[in-house]
Structure 1
Amino acid sequence: MSLSITIQRVSIDAVLPLRHQVLWPNKSIDECRVENDIDGLHFGAYKDENLVCVASIFIEENSVRLRKFATLEAFQGQGIGSQMLEHLMSFLANYFKEQKYIFWCDARESAIALYERFGMKIEGERFFKGEIPYRQMAVHKS
């Protein structure tokens, strides 16, 4: 059973602290920024007014990249990430209307099953970011 949450667009300044805490606790908060963050669309999932999950998408023509998808450890495994992906896919379907587009990400191998539930498929070979194995995953919408 998934928790009741509210998902909404948020500012980059809202996502950075959670990104920092979950993804890069040993780096500075400024090192948690990614190129083009200013151009991204950032989303936050709130449980009881507390930000518990964030995700950023970057749209370039008909290609949408999901980046820096993070959920606080205490809230992982409770369906929040799935609700975020549902929200993002609904947002993109509305944004693109009848146009074709690709939604993709560099997925940690430990999260492949989550993305597969949303129709995403592995594209390409395994690669590493530091010690962590990744695969590029995508879903082509028409």
Structure 2
Amino acid sequence: MIDIHIISAEQTLAIRQQVLWPSHDLAFCRVPEDDTGEHYGAYLNGKLIMVASLFTSGNEIRLRKFACLPEHQAKGYGSKMLNYMVEQQAGKPLTSFWFDARCSAIGFYQRLGFLVTSEVFDKHGVAYVKMAKAL
């Protein structure tokens, strides 16, 4: 069972780098809005194994830098964390939960009710699409 908690932006960086951009330095894994985001960490037996950050703009909330250590992927932890973050938005005046998804992860997000809302585009040599779910 994982435990999900609010963490600092700084605590997200090592996993962001290791999972998403291993050939880049930690600074590359920051986003300009990190100071204003809400950052989540999932712990398994007291060890941080997964991170994600949420950023609100108007009536939308954006997920960024969702990353799970490889040895803990495909065990249902990511689904639990994403569902938890969506549930945390209940009662807020938000209409959409969206993100840029790596094309390799489209199936994962579709199983959780997210829809592809854009054509494929490139970010630093990786293929992405925008995905969203109405809240």
Matched, 1:107 2:101: yes
TM-score, normalised to structure 2, is 0.95
Matched, 1:126 2:117: no
Q: Distance in 2 between matches of 1:127 and 1:109?
A: 9
Aligned to 1:136: 130
Q: Distance in 2 between matches of 1:124 and 1:47?
A: 34
Segments of 4+ in structure 1 off by > 2 A? none
Q: Distance in 2 between matches of 1:27 and 1:100?
A: 34
Could you tell which deviates more after superposition, 75-84 or 24-33?
24-33
The 3-state SS of whatever aligns with 2:66 is: strand
Aligned to 2:29: 32
Aligned to 2:87: 90
CA distances 1:63-117 after superposition (whole Å, capped 9, x unpaired)? 11100000001101111110111110111114x1xx3411000011111111112
Counterpart code for 1:116: Q
Aligned to 2:70: 73
**Taking structure 1 as reference, are residues 58 and 100 closer, same or farther at Cα in structure 2, changes over 3 Å only?**
closer
Contact persistence 2:61–2:94 (CA under 8 A)? no
Q: Distance in 1 between matches of 2:31 and 2:50?
A: 17
Contact persistence 2:60–2:94 (CA under 8 A)? no
**Taking structure 1 as reference, are residues 100 and 15 closer, same or farther at Cα in structure 2, changes over 3 Å only?**
closer
Could you tell which deviates more after superposition, 53-62 or 110-119?
110-119
Identity %: 41
Counterpart code for 2:71: A
Matches within 5 A, 1:31-50: 31-50=28-47
Q: Distance in 1 between matches of 2:117 and 2:47?
A: 35
